[in-house]
Structure 1
Amino acid sequence: MSKLSALVLTISLLIVACGAGNNTTAPSNPSVTSTATKTGDRQSQDKPLVVTTVAPITNIVSNIAGDRISVVGVVPEGTDSHTFEPRPSDADLLAQADLILVNGLSLETPTKKLAQTSKPKDTKIYQLGDETITKQEWIFDFSFPKDKGDPNPHLWVNPKYAEAYAKLAAKHLTELDPAGKDYYATNLKNYQQRLDELDKVTRAVVASIPPEKRKLLTYHDSWAYWAREYGFEVIGAIQPSDFNEPSAQDIAKLVDQVRETKVPAIFGSEVFPSKVAEQIAREANVKTANTSDDDLPGEGSANAIENTNTQHTYIGMMAENLRILAENLGGNPKLVDSLDTANIVGSKASANK
């Protein structure tokens, strides 16, 4: 190779390398970027923008908002919402928001702080969890001990509280867009019917599980409000309150607890992958399976779909959870097959991937 050819080749490689380096600075979330770009031009798009956080809340709100509102979730699916740190691109999105709906109860503190500093002056932030239950109804437990001060924030896993979130969404969307009042009311009515069916199926599945097996040992402590509603006992959580892995001593205590309580299965988490649950299950000679509290099934999610009728929705997530619980605790998973897990107004929400 001549010196001139070698020089040309070197320059070409440098140009390609620089181009590749520039690409890494682009936003990593094309769905949010495209939505934000569209909503940024209010002359070309009249829809208000509502920003939410975790995927179940995004989906619940989108079922009420329908095609009158653009709904975008900030927290990527399959991400730990407790420790999620929003990115600079999220500040741009929040700066365009007409309304911000978060769970609250100290779940998304970094995102809420960013929203408070980034949002337009007149944009309101509502904490759905804080609007749904009083302090007297808070649950403190293994992952959320009382001495830490923050209650368990996973209200939406309880369909009754998901219904309360839907009602609040209809209220706040109507405040934002009074002309859509009847539209939101209709969507709420139809969505409540779906949630009522979810509640009925949940009670049927629980009834099919032998009473002595209605016990939960989970990795992340997200089932407290569901258990209180449907008569389950949460006997423990593997993940410590600091969200680190448990110590060898903690693991040994959990193995003993599983043996003493004769719980038939341990339930891990799609969002918190860990080999510890499998280790405990192996040592205690019980089954293990994964459930999800904020990762909707399908569409590239870690929460795989066993039943092809299950949709990428909040109700779809809970339907899969019910199947998993029934299959591992001696219940009847076929009771879930009657559920309609689709959105009532189609897939109208975007969420980070």
Structure 2
Amino acid sequence: MKKLSLADTIFIFFAALVLTSSLAHAEKTEKILRIATTVPPITNIVENIGGPLVTVSGIVPNGMDSHTFEPVPTDAKTLAHADIIFVNGMSLEVPTIKLAEKVKKPGTPIIRLANETLPEEEWQYDFSFPKEHGNPNPHLWPNIALTIRYVEIIRDRLAEHDPRHADIYAANASTYIAKLTQLDQAIFACVNTIPKNSRKLVTYHDSFAYFAPRYGMEVIAAIQPASFTEPGPRDIVHIIEQIKREKIPAIFGSEVFPSKIMEQIARESGARFVDELSDDELPEKPNHSFIGMMVNNIEIMTEALGGDSACASHVDAGNLLD
């Protein structure tokens, strides 16, 4: 057998090294699940549970009105390549779901988290989401007990699709649920600092229909009609009278739903107008997370209604990979 030269030996060594690296990279690539999501809270939750084992592409941009959002052609490519698609459901992302059903791979499931979380008899309907229109209020995630159920569903579906890493998804979910439990307890504590007769919410878009009953608050009114236009004069007068009658100290809007009507209602009712609540827009860093969004909400809400806004300052709003 011919003896290898030093140059040949070096060449073979580096070729084997490159091959080993390529195989390792290929194995690593095979482990990555491609996940498509819709609204930013769901995107962030999936990122926390999946960690480095998933790549998550959120279809609805941060700060976009998720009710009126229409997907663009590049979203079709994202949905077509996805291994799993997580949506909220309950009629929130109808155009995106219709597109997903057309372009997705045959084996790719569309997971409707809200539909799997809450039975139909517990769906909420209101001024913004009237029952006669058939579309329930889809904003389950401000209720942290329901968010925890979202986490459990995401964990289980990731494990079904990638059983080799089920223990990692379970560990991430357990850690994240502990963080959510801390947030949940803080929200209860915050509400307890608000005077009882002020634990009432008047919002522009009714994002807190599932939040209020859990934490001992009451949604008095939502300003935005189901048509996503402005309310009529009769509705405005009724809301102003109700705010005066019940002595509501503050009403809440959102930058995602700018409305001069809210300013008028606040001015004529004597209530303070706070336009900083968010139902699905995540805050900027360092707390760019679903938990960070909810901490901001409860601190803003508590301070405006006469409570102690420091009640949630201890909550860890970071992501698991931060």
TM over 0.5: yes
TM-score (norm 1): 0.82
Cα deviation code 1:46-83 (max 9, x no counterpart): 31100000000111111100000001110011111111
Q: 1:315 aligns with which of 291, 311, 319?
A: 291
Whether 1:65 and 2:50 are equivalent positions in the alignment is yes
Q: Which amino acid aligns with 2:295?
A: A
Q: 1:167, CA displacement in angstroms? A: 0.6
**Secondary structure of residue in 2 paired with 1:70:** strand
Larger Rg, first or second structure (1 or 2)? 2
Stretches of structure 1 lacking an aligned partner (at least 5 in a row): 1-41, 300-309, 347-353
How many pairs align?
A: 296
Q: Which residue of 2 aligns with 1:12?
A: none
Q: Distance in 2 between matches of 1:335 and 1:116?
A: 44
With a CA cutoff of 8 Å and minimum separation of 6, indicate the structure with the bigger relative contact order.
1
Q: 1:172, CA displacement in angstroms? A: 0.6
Q: Which amino acid aligns with 2:127?
A: F
Q: Which amino acid aligns with 2:299?
A: R
Q: Which amino acid aligns with 1:262?
A: K
Paired residues of 1:174 and 1:184 also in contact (CA < 8 A): yes
Whether 1:296 and 2:272 are equivalent positions in the alignment is no
Q: Which residue of 1 aligns with 2:200?
A: 215
Q: Distance in 2 between matches of 1:256 and 1:295?
A: 31
Q: 1:95, CA displacement in angstroms? A: 0.6
Q: Distance in 2 between matches of 1:339 and 1:276?
A: 34
Q: Which residue of 1 aligns with 2:29?
A: 45
Q: Which residue of 2 aligns with 1:342?
A: 318
Which segment drifts farther, 52-61 or 250-259?
Answer: 250-259
Counterparts of residues 110-189 of structure 1 (less than 5 Å): 110-189=95-174
Q: 2:237 aligns with which of 229, 242, 252?
A: 252
**Secondary structure of residue in 1 paired with 2:52:** coil
Q: 1:249, CA displacement in angstroms? A: 2.4
Q: Which residue of 2 aligns with 1:305?
A: none
Q: Which amino acid aligns with 2:134?
A: G
Stretches of structure 2 lacking an aligned partner (at least 5 in a row): 1-25
Indicate the percent of aligned positions where both proteins have the same amino acid.
Answer: 49
Q: 1:121, CA displacement in angstroms? A: 0.9
- The CA RMSD measured in Å over matched residues stands at 1.5
TM-score (norm 2): 0.89
Q: 1:331 aligns with which of 284, 291, 307?
A: 307
Cα deviation code 1:306-346 (max 9, x no counterpart): xxxx6000000000001101110011111111000000123
Q: Distance in 1 between matches of 2:203 and 2:238?
A: 14
Q: Distance in 2 between matches of 1:211 and 1:219?
A: 22
Q: Which amino acid aligns with 1:45?
A: T
Q: Which residue of 2 aligns with 1:95?
A: 80
**Secondary structure of residue in 2 paired with 1:104:** coil
Cα deviation code 1:225-262 (max 9, x no counterpart): 00011111101111011110112222222111111111
Q: Distance in 1 between matches of 2:107 and 2:211?
A: 35
